[in-house]
Amino acid sequence: MKLVLFYLFFFQFSFAYIPPTKVIFQKLTENSGSGGYEIIKEVHFNNPESLPLKETWKIENERMFKVTIEPLDSTKKGKMHILYVNGQKAIISNKKNEISKLPIEHAERIFHFRNVENLSAYFTNLQVLSTASGNLDLARLNRAQGVITYGLGKKTAEDSNSLMPYLWIEQDRFVIRKVRFENGVEARTEAFQTYPRGLYHPQEINLNWADRSARIKTISVALKKWPAGTFQLKGLEDSQNFFKDHLIDQTSQEFYKRFR
């Protein structure tokens, strides 16, 4: 009888144990892989006027990556390139370099943090953590996407009309299942798969904002060793015509200005 009680107590204790936030974030970065990856995705919008698009991501880490966008329909021509280096977003339009701050609601970067300090700083800026060290923030057990998760962030007051930023991390695999950005924007993930060098990546991301949404499907993931010069503005094509010819509606325009 004592042995049975011991095992019951041990099981309950194990289930209720919540690791320190720093340990959770360390696990997240370990599941973000290492080295370079090429990830091909499709983007489909809920607006019937929006064209479905293909994205080719060149990833080195959370500080250095690049995306090429083109129509999913191969009969339609044109490409747009966006470069992200050290917290800045760069694009060439009308022969001019347009450089701005990397959007805090960027819906791809969050899966490629390799450094715990950078990840903690990001979620502090997002107001999920109160300090970059995370020492004062305790995770709580939640559910999201049908699984048990560690939840981080301030609870939204019952009388509030706006939802607070929040992060849901799957308990079993330490992957991001859901994140709520500012202004209620939410990204939900589905069907994680494992890839070489320890990368866990979702096969689908559903991004919702206001009455608009985008479904982002992962088509392929491949290891790459990027040559020198890959993450430089030099050599990028001018993207002015792409905006005019292919981002023809407000949904896709807002998506690439705000979330990419």
- Residues 158 and 183: beta-carbon distance below 8 Å: no
Q: For position 3, what pLDDT does the model report?
A: 56
| The predicted structure's pLDDT at residue 12 | 47
CATH number of the domain at 142, please.
2.50.20.10
- Quick count: other Cβ atoms within 10 Å of Cβ 132? 16
pLDDT tens digits, one per residue of 48-91? 989 999 999 999 999 999 999 999 998 988 899 999 999 999 99
pLDDT at 37: 98
Is residue 50 a part of any domain in this protein? Answer: yes
- Retrieve residue 202's tokens: 């979702």
- What is the per-residue pLDDT for 243? 80
Measured in degrees and rounded to the nearest 5, phi and psi for residue 144 equal -155, 140
* Structural domains in the chain (count): 1
- Please check whether residue 4 lies inside any domain of the structure: no
| pLDDT at residue number 225 | 97
The pTM (predicted TM-score) of the whole model is: 0.89
Low-confidence ranges of the chain (pLDDT < 70): 1-16, 132-136
What range defines the domain where residue 87 resides? 18-258
Q: Decide: 66 and 79 in contact? Cβ < 8 Å.
A: no
9 within a domain of the structure (yes/no): no
Q: Is residue 205 part of a domain?
A: yes
Is residue 1 assigned to a domain?
A: no
Residue 3 lies in a domain: no
In a domain, 6, yes or no: no
